[in-house]
Structure 1
Amino acid sequence: MTLDRMKRGQRCRILSIPSELVRAQALRFGIAEGEVVTCCEVVPAGPVVISKNRQEIAIGRGLARQIEVEGSF
């Protein structure tokens, strides 16, 4: 499943982040492969907002479509 298919309130584990550039940017926010995050909001035709450790991050829909995640926790 990909990050853009998550529903509000679901928790998931990030399995893969597509490119080195995106991975480096995600690491700055403390998001890496294997991390468990919570989907806070899915804006229609807009970004997916995730949270980890009380920090919320908006990820563009196109990028969220490329990030593989593992089900609900």
Structure 2
Amino acid sequence: DVSPPNFVEMKGIVPEFIQDDATPENVAMSALELLQPEKREKTIADYQEMRSALGGEGACDRVARSILEDLGIVV
């Protein structure tokens, strides 16, 4: 899994259409699945879990600051 949501949670939150998988049929099928209440609710719950794992707003800044501190660069 290479998309940011899937990478953060290390599970398939959103479908990934890479190279030969990026067909109109696959995209349409995935979009239609979101019309099912169970699938839509699961996707929303997964996104909320991801947001919680990131610790709210500013996640990119916190990660960058941590990397710079690990490298001994004062910020």
TM-score interval (norm. to shorter): under 0.3
TM-score by length of 2: 0.25
Of the two, which has the highest radius of gyration? Answer: 2
Structure with the bigger RCO (C-alpha within 8 Å, sep 6+) is: 1
Question: Which structure's residues are more often helix, by fraction?
Answer: 2
TM-score by length of 1: 0.26
